[in-house]
Structure 1
Amino acid sequence: MQKNLSRHRRLIYLIVSFLTAIAGLTARFAPLGLPWIVVKYAGSALWAAMIYWVLALAWPQSNVTRLALTSGAIATVTELSRLYHVAWLDTFRVSLPGIILLGRYFSVRNIVAYWLAIVAGAVFDAVVLRRQVDSALLESN
């Protein structure tokens, strides 16, 4: 039963991760005519939410609080790493993968956006995914 639950959660987290990545890349790079602030912070927030979903995918039995705190720590450390400058890292940061994975400029506002997105993702996970999806799976068995 526990194995089925983990497998089922992994599938859900994989789907949510994929949708989050598509939404984040679309918000950041597609010419949708969105206001700059939405483009900037939606991309950042969805990037941080993606960290949460990837960790949930890797450890589906981990509790939501642990996943959120770990995700927030990773996002915050990544943001703080933008204060560290060496040539090879700065060169990577201006490439497309570098922009997507690490970003270019440090911003405290990004950290706030990260934590808000991670908390929203964790609440969605706890209230919708784990409660609703897990109970549906348990009822079917």
Structure 2
Amino acid sequence: MTTCRNRALFLLLTISSILLGLGSRKMAGYLPDSINLGLGDALWAVMVYFLFAAAFCRWSIVRTALVALTFCYLIEISQLYHAPWIDAIRATRLGGLVLGFGFLWTDIVAYTLGVGSAVLFESFAYRASFLRNHLFKDR
């Protein structure tokens, strides 16, 4: 039997990370600048990890992390490209949230920390017997 993540719970984690990320923008005035610098980007990477984990429930934690990091890095690298059509997409609220605006090395660090945090959370949850039965199921 292979273990499959509980998709409904990982989608709930995805939604939770979206809400936390949007909330972090609202709370920016109350948080130190050192935290504000990468919190939204880290939470975005957490969301990407949980979304891939839900979509591909049988992938290993390592594979999910590598794909999520690659996706995040590619989005960041795409910010070096500026053409009218993609900048028009970035000018929308959703487009700006997904694609970003300009390449920053600090975003790469934030994505790495975000995916690393999601990996630690999932690893802990898998090893904790009281969580394993809810987050994962045998198929």
Shorter-chain TM-score: what band?
0.7 to 0.9
Taking structure 2 as the reference length, what is the TM-score of the superposition?
Answer: 0.85
Native 8 Å contact 2:53 2:64 kept in 1:
yes
Partner residue in 1 for 2:96? 99
CA contact (8 A) 2:22 2:40 kept: yes
- Unaligned 5+ segments in structure 2 are none
State whether residues 28 and 40 of structure 1, in contact with CA within 8 Å, keep that contact through their aligned partners in structure 2.
Answer: no
Q: Distance in 2 between matches of 1:14 and 1:97?
A: 19
The answer on whether the counterparts of 1:41 and 1:110 sit within 8 Å (CA) in structure 2 is: yes
Query: TM-score if structure 1 supplies the norm length?
Result: 0.84
Summarize the alignment of residues 58-137 of structure 1 with structure 2, pairs less than 5 Å apart. 58-128=55-125, 130-132=126-128, 133-135=131-133
Measured in 2, the distance between the counterparts of 1:115 and 1:57 equals 19
Structure-2 separation of matches of 1:59 and 1:121: 15
Task: Say which structure, 1 or 2, has more relative contact order (CA 8 Å, 6+ apart).
Answer: 2
- The structure with the greater share of residues assigned to helix is 1
Higher normalized strand content (fraction of residues): 2
Q: Distance in 2 between matches of 1:73 and 1:137?
A: 24
Task: Percent identity, please.
Answer: 30
Q: Which runs of 5+ in 1 are unaligned?
A: none
Query: Which aligned runs of 4 or more in structure 1 are off by greater than 4 angstroms?
Result: 135-138
The structural deviation recorded for 1:101 is 0.5
**Count of paired positions:** 134
Q: CA deviation at 1:119?
A: 1.1
